[in-house]
Structure 1
Amino acid sequence: MKPQDILLGKNSLWIFGYGSLVWKPDFKYKKSKVGYIRGYKRRFWHGDNFHRGDDEMPGRVVTLIEDDDACTWGTAFEVIGTQMEECLKYLNMRESVRGGYITKLVEFFPHGQNQLPVPAVVYIATPENPMYLGPASPEEIAAQIIVCKGNSGHNIEYLLRLAEFMRITCPDVEDTHLFSIEAAALTLVPILLASKKSVSVL
């Protein structure tokens, strides 16, 4: 789906974020709502050699994997008027060119009673992407995350911010994949720091 096709006949647009967009949208919007989309699960299966890693040590960031029984929580942002074109232009560079994601249109369900679903644009990295890394154990993913850094900062910051968002904004949602990687990372960080201290002493 191309950005210009998304805008046809619309005076407003919703963008669904499930990764760094939930705390750092970096575009102007009218309002935001917490909610979920169905048919997808969030996984740290995509490699990142720009924002949270580099060519030698790519980081791990989230993408969405199709799963009929799953749902993914995040934040949707409504953009209107000139915000729409500006937002998509910015996200095309941030998510598509630098991140390797493609765009899809999904149904977003805002949290709360009497909230009607709305169509929303979401960015997804597929297995066809050269940077796609695929599944690994929480310990393996955490070990990769704690040592990587890119233009947007440390990979572990990305992990911890996303876990914090879920705990604060969606306290009743148990994201086992996310929280197991967070727990593994927090266990490994002291070991990594201790190993660096021992090396520096030699």
Structure 2
Amino acid sequence: MNTKDIIKEKSNLWVFGYGSLVWKPDFEYKSREVGFIQGYKRRFWHGDDFYRGDKEKPGRVATLVKDYEACTWGVAYEMTDSQMEESLQYLEKREVVMGGYKTEIVEFIPKEKGHSALLALVYIATPDNPLYLGPASEEVIAAQIAICRGNTGHNIEYLFRLAEFMRLYCPEVEDEHLFSIEAAVLNIFHNCKGIKPSDQKYFL
């Protein structure tokens, strides 16, 4: 699915974000809705060797894994006709070229009562991607996140900002995978003798 096919004969388009897009979209959009998609669970199973890690120490970032009993919360952004081409070109580079994600169309259900479900574009990294790291325990994932940094910052920031979003906008949702990794990272540093001043800003 390429950009031209996506925007063909469309006057608007929604994009669903469940990772860094929830707090750092960095593209033009008209409106945003907090909500969820069904049939997928968020997992820190994808590797990142540019934004939150490097070639030697790839960071751990979120992708979606099919699970018919699960749902994943995030943000859907609406792009209008004048915004679509430029915004999608940006996302193509950020998510597909640099991140290794593929696109799918999913049904997004807004949290706001009275707002109808809508179709949204979503970026998903699959196991056939060379950057895919796969399943691991929360402790192993936390250990990787704790030591990784990339061109846009520390891997810890990615994790903590996502957890912060969930608590702020979806306080009723218990994201066990996300919060268990966050707790494991905090435990790593709380058990260390002295935290570097440069790392203190990543802790809540």
Bin for the TM-score computed over the shorter chain: over 0.9
**TM superposition shift of 1:194:** 4.1
SS in 2 for 1:146: helix
Alpha-carbon shift at residue 113 of structure 1 (Å): 1.7
Match of 2:146 in 1: 146
- Residue by residue over 1:118-143, the C-alpha shift from the partner in whole angstroms, topping out at 9 and shown as x without a partner, is 11000000000001001111100000
Per the alignment, residue 63 of structure 1 pairs with: 63
Unaligned runs of 5+ in 1: 197-202
Shift of 1:112: 2.2
1:191 is displaced (CA, Å) by 3.4
Which residue of structure 2 lines up, in the alignment, with residue 166 of structure 1? 166
Deviations, residues 21-75 of structure 1 (Å, cap 9, x unaligned): 0000001110000000011000000000000000000000000000111100000
Residues 76-115 of structure 1 mapped to structure 2, 5 A cutoff: 76-115=76-115
1:200 paired residue number: none
Let me know the Cα RMSD of the aligned residues: 1.2
TM score, norm. by length of structure 2: 0.93
2:134 aligned partner: 134
Aligned to 2:201: none
Structure 2: tracts of 5 or more residues without a match: 197-204
1:19-98 alignment, distance < 5 Å: 19-98=19-98
1:171 CA displacement: 0.2
Distance 1:130 1:113, change over 3 A: same
Per-residue CA deviations over 1:169-194 (Å, capped at 9, x if unaligned) read 00000000000000000000233454
**Contact conserved, 2:189 with 2:195, CA < 8 A, in 1?**
no
CA distance in 2, matches of 1:9, 1:106: 19
